[in-house]
């Protein structure tokens, strides 16, 4: 395929969005009014698609920490930790993650995407076996693909199908890597982690869990779904991102295996990428301490999630899952999703438009992500906007909690 043919494919994707008059890349947030509101198209707009789960992006303590770090350590690191050395702030944040999880090893990466890429590329070799949930994030698929490992998908959230896939591997199941996520970012559903963990251990497989959307949100201390499921001492690798609850940019990996420290010598995304800026590290560190010391943030988030879920269900919308910080409204067609997305924007509400290939199983979704920063008045305004735009629905939406 020629270069021009490849760009023609991309042009087709762009034109398809254009034909629906629903290209999210055209949305510009001209000015922020708060963590949950911005000016879009010269209109104040409620943001319910930002993954700012704990609403910490404008927290004064976090902003001050980031500013102080920039003045003390500069605007950037200008190189990787393997080449330029580590700043003390990088090492301190890794130490706090390890202490928080009660494990000997933690590593931080420059983005959440690179965290999964870096772990999988450093851990796996050609011929290794991986069995991953079919709804796994693109970075997990990419990490497996680049590593050269043989990878197979099991049906989403189905422990019995995982058992079937591992059984088919025969002796290779021992030492295989099983991958799941905590909270799945498109449908807003959670994994049956205790069951998946039991199946993995039954076959002697390793278990990796991506807590990108569940860290800070689930578990008594906010450690994620692994904590809530009671399997922290059994999971081999846990990854997460700074760009959701931690209100920054970067990612982390923790492991109960001390040998994970050796990953620094074989993870190309870690070795060859500039390390996170001092401001990003300081912001994430301050946010981590907020998660540890301010449980009321999680309480407010869940109150908002339950209020929105209850309101949309009451309107007759079909939701993809029970209440969670991600609430996905299932829409009958791509065209109807685009119409409603534009109509919501006109009503002053920004949600995520999700259509294939981003949406799993060919679905069309209007994805809402809740924040502790939302007020009940904002939640009620979001419900009112969904009530207004449903009047033009091409296909009636049936009431369902998923």
What φ, ψ does residue 161 adopt, rounded to 5°? -70, -35
Q: In this model, does residue 240 exceed pLDDT 80?
A: yes
DSSP label of 276: P
Q: What is the pLDDT of residue 24?
A: 75
Q: Which two tokens stand for residue 119?
A: 């772990």
Average the pLDDT over 358-379 and give the result. Answer: 89
Closest CA to 367 of 24, 35, 134: 24
Tokens linked to 331: 């829409």
Residue 146, helix vs strand vs coil: helix
Percent of the chain topping pLDDT 90: 85
Please say if the pLDDT value at position 394 is more than 60: no
pLDDT at 289: 98
313-340 average pLDDT score? 93
Cα separation, 162 vs 152, in Å, equals: 10
Structure confidence at residue 367 (pLDDT): 97
Q: Are strands 251-255 and 105-109 parallel, antiparallel or unpaired?
A: antiparallel
Phi, psi for residue 203 in degrees, rounded to 5:
-100, 5
Mean pLDDT in residue range 309-326: 97
Residue 15, pLDDT above cutoff 90: no
Cα–Cα dist 98/254, whole Å: 7
Given a cut of 50, whether residue 400 has pLDDT beyond it is no
Whether residue 1 is predicted with pLDDT greater than 90 in this model: the reply is no
Among the residue ranges 2-16, 58-72, 82-96, 182-196, the one predicted with the least confidence is 2-16
Give how far the C-alpha of residue 214 lies from the chain's centroid of Cα atoms, to the nearest Å.
8
Confidence of residue 359 (pLDDT cuts 50, 70, 90): low
Domains of the chain are: 3-58+295-392 (3.90.1150.10), 60-293 (3.40.640.10)
Q: Out of 10-14, 71-75, 124-128, 320-324, which region has the weakest mean confidence (pLDDT)?
A: 10-14
Label residue 124 by pLDDT band (50, 70, 90): very high
Q: Which residue has the higher pLDDT, 23 or 115?
A: 115
């Amino acid at each position: 395929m020629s270069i021009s043919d490849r760009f023609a494919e991309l042009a087709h994707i762009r034109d398809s969005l254009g034909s629906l008059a629903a290209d999210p890349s055209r949305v510009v947030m001209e000015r922020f009014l708060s963590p949950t509101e911005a000016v879009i198209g010269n209109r104040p707009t409620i943001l319910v698609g930002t993954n700012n789960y704990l609403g910490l992006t404008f927290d004064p303590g976090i902003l001050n920490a980031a500013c102080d770090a920039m003045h003390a350590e500069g605007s950037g690191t200008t190189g990787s930790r393997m080449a330029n050395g580590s700043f003390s702030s990088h090492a301190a944040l890794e130490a706090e993650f390890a202490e928080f999880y009660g494990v000997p090893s933690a590593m931080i990466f420059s983005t959440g995407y690179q965290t999964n890429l870096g772990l999988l590329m450093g851990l796996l070799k050609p011929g290794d076996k991986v069995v991953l949930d079919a709804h796994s994030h693109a970075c997990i698929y990419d990490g497996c693909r680049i590593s050269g490992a043989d990878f197979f998908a099991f049906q989403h959230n189905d422990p019995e199908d995982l058992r079937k896939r591992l059984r088919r591997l025969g002796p290779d199941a021992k030492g295989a890597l099983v991958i799941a996520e905590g909270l799945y970012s498109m449908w807003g559903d959670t994994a049956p982690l205790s069951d998946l963990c039991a199946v993995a251990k039954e076959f002697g497989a390793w278990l990796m869990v991506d807590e990108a959307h569940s860290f800070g949100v689930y578990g008594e201390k906010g450690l994620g779904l692994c904590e809530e499921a009671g399997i922290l001492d059994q999971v081999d690798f846990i990854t997460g991102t700074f760009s959701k609850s931690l209100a920054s940019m970067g990612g982390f990996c923790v492991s109960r295996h001390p040998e994970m420290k050796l990953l620094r010598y074989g993870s190309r995304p870690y070795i060859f990428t500039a390390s996170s800026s001092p401001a990003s590290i300081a912001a994430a560190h301050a946010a981590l301490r907020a998660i540890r010391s301010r449980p009321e943030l999680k309480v407010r988030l869940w109150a908002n999630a339950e209020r929105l879920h209850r309101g949309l269900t009451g309107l007759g919308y079909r939701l993809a899952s029970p209440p969670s910080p991600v609430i996905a409204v299932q829409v009958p067609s791509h065209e109807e999703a685009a119409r409603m997305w534009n109509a919501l924007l006109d009503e002053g509400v920004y949600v995520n438009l999700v259509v294939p290939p981003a949406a799993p199983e060919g679905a069309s979704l209007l994805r809402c992500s809740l924040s502790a920063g939302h007020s009940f008045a904002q939640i009620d305004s979001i419900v009112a906007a969904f009530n207004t735009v449903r009047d033009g629905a091409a296909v009636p939406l049936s009431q369902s909690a998923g």
